[in-house]
Structure 1
């Protein structure tokens, strides 16, 4: 087995490990609200999220194309670049998971690609237009989610204003199970595709897939492998982050959980359809804040959200630096 094939195999394995980590790191995106409101026990909620994550990952590949061909110029992409990008993203995911901070796997992967690409070919390796598109979507999407959730909560409160609280709570406990599944489906539709794009990028660099501009396509086995890895990771759960998102930002009730999950899922699915890689973590966090702020601004624990925002700001640069350092080290060992 030649060195290039060994490196490609290593890249695929590490990419699936990243996908698995993404699954348990981002489990909270889909089920934090449904667990914290007591609608479902955590094990049932995690298994539900795993099932819908798998289904969501099979819904398309538009986001995979954006990640695979829109960030780094093809001439700068090698197996070692892709491997270094994954290591940088995995480092940040595990670091933030350990401290229970809801950070973005998407930001980490983007930062890793930029850092590794720059390590190989300098800033010329980065496609400015593609990076701008990704960063804009990552920044705008949680704001959109916040607004939709805020307005959605106001509309819901108006609709149930004459209904007894006990009845409202009972009805929204049922509705929240539906919205949690909707959120898990949307998470799979966006996040699993990022790993699909990474693996396909490595296959293009190896020569297994044509490198022409219009020829970027994700093999079916890659789609199923990534869907399975994310589902298994989700099934492993991510209790630390579930506690942060479900209990520390606002005091959630089923009505808030339904509004936040539905708003987030709608935002993410629209982004997936448009091929925009958004952070599901950022979107659901923004929606939870919007649901809380619709009651009163003080309902949101802004001290906790400030810590989360700092993690968001640091994700891309830290992941980029780690990936850049990894490239320097790995290229001296593996070459390229």
Structure 2
């Protein structure tokens, strides 16, 4: 079954809702481009390193490149940290109306909050916005079904929340410290003084600032681009769960999955370690269903009855078994139990043959998300740029402050990619600018900083509440 066949099988209102959901999801990423990436071009514009138009075009290109290159060649772990906030089987357990409402509610909540804060010129976090919206619909759905707070993966939410909490603090302290080091090492007075009318930075400073602007834009594309891809995956899984249960990029991997299952059993036997009962059961289930098959697409139309006698789709059940297998092997591979060699061998099999089958991003989603993010960067950036450059500190941004804030932001965001955590470009860079203002003795504008911090603090609960209310309203309308 290909994508167009799966879409054709929806028909009627579900097809209309899918088109609307995809449009709103790409709109969110487009808005993310001009809402968040304005931070990246602030320094090059306000230090007169580049005129505004070339700056935003350059930043847009680097955002597109970051989103495209990182996922195609480095994987999409950050995207799945977003997907796994809302257990995708929740979408499947829900009736079709509930799944549609959940997806549309979280999308609309994110777009409304991002547009509202952009209009007010507040550099809030699109990451907070997206995560709050996901948590909101998860909680609302579980409360609607009298299941308490079970609709959210709270362990994953804690990991994500920790990254979002610590990253602005790191940005503030590291950018301030870097500026102090620069003042000791680079004793060029013009680096630390606001540029006068008509002044432009020395050639070598311009190169540095252009490089740091590109670095932040690339890092933003790599991290926030994956968040957008995670959002698109929630839409696709919600509307077409069977089609997107297993990888559509390399469906011919059925035989290699069977080989990987044999390798897992061999590794456990080699080290004299017994297979856990559930893992043994899942490995056998997958091996039996894939035996003699060359392509994962062969499972699309197969159905069978589960232990309770209910009719289930085999392709989805294989995904669930592989999901549990991946989770167990990751626990073993990254844990502290068992010999080092055993853990390493398990982790290699998991990363190369098991995880890619269930943690994948369709190529068209990668390209379209990168395009939406890059295009959005080139539009509507001015409101956020003015706030960051003119209203955080009491004086004009200096060359040294711009380089320190952007350099720290780029490194922080790329480091977050490495440890698979979504962080906020807005928070890291805005905090970095504030840190350099404090370190430079320039002072900060208390009123503006209070508004920004208040917006940061309100984003998560406000988006949770907005998404939850939209979900409830949608359920009342569609039943």
| TM norm. shorter chain > 0.5 | yes
TM-score, length-scaled by structure 2: 0.67
Distance 1:330 1:148 in 2: 45
Distance 2:475 2:206 in 1: 53
Distance 1:79 1:272 in 2: 30
Distance 1:79 1:150 in 2: 46
**Greater shift in the superposed pair: 247-256 or 136-145:** 247-256
| CA shift for structure 1 position 164 | 5.3
Counterpart pick for 2:244 among 201, 204, 209: 209
Matches within 5 A, 1:81-230: 81-122=102-143, 123-161=149-187, 163=188, 165=190, 169-170=201-202, 171-205=204-238, 206-207=240-241, 208-210=243-245, 211-212=319-320, 213=323, 214=355, 215-230=358-373
**Greater shift in the superposed pair: 310-319 or 214-223:** 214-223
> Match of 2:440, SS?
coil
* Residues 194 and 277, structure 1, Cα contact 8 Å, conserved in 2: yes
Counterpart pick for 2:438 among 293, 296, 299: 293
Instruction: Report the equivalent of 1:310.
Output: 454
* Residues 103 and 311, structure 1, Cα contact 8 Å, conserved in 2: yes
Q: Structure 1 pair 164/10, CA: closer, same or farther in 2 (3 Å)?
A: closer
**Greater shift in the superposed pair: 135-144 or 198-207:** 198-207
Is 1:329 the counterpart of 2:473? The answer is yes
* Residues 192 and 399, structure 2, Cα contact 8 Å, conserved in 1: no
> Match of 1:40, SS?
coil
Higher normalized helix content (fraction of residues): 1
> Match of 1:100, SS?
coil
Distance 2:412 2:180 in 1: 18
CA deviation map 1:182-239 (0-9, x unaligned): 1110111111111100111222232221153241211111011100011111111321
Q: Structure 1 pair 79/185, CA: closer, same or farther in 2 (3 Å)?
A: same
Counterpart pick for 2:56 among 46, 52, 64: 46
Counterpart pick for 2:378 among 228, 231, 235: 235
* Residues 27 and 242, structure 1, Cα contact 8 Å, conserved in 2: no
Distance 2:168 2:458 in 1: 17
Distance 1:320 1:313 in 2: 12
* Residues 32 and 242, structure 1, Cα contact 8 Å, conserved in 2: yes
Distance 1:333 1:167 in 2: 59
Distance 2:233 2:134 in 1: 14
Instruction: Report the equivalent of 2:419.
Output: 274
Gaps of 5+ in 1: none
Is 1:9 the counterpart of 2:26? The answer is no
| CA shift for structure 1 position 295 | 1.7
Instruction: Report the equivalent of 1:72.
Output: 86
Q: Structure 1 pair 274/5, CA: closer, same or farther in 2 (3 Å)?
A: farther
TM-score, length-scaled by structure 1: 0.94
* Residues 22 and 233, structure 1, Cα contact 8 Å, conserved in 2: yes
> Match of 1:54, SS?
helix
Larger Cα-atom Rg: 2
* Residues 108 and 315, structure 1, Cα contact 8 Å, conserved in 2: yes
Instruction: Report the equivalent of 2:392.
Output: 249
Gaps of 5+ in 2: 1-10, 92-98, 144-148, 194-200, 246-318, 324-354
- The alignment's C-alpha RMSD in Å is 1.8
* Residues 100 and 244, structure 1, Cα contact 8 Å, conserved in 2: yes
Distance 2:411 2:54 in 1: 23
Instruction: Report the equivalent of 2:340.
Output: none
> Match of 1:126, SS?
coil
Counterpart pick for 2:429 among 259, 284, 299: 284
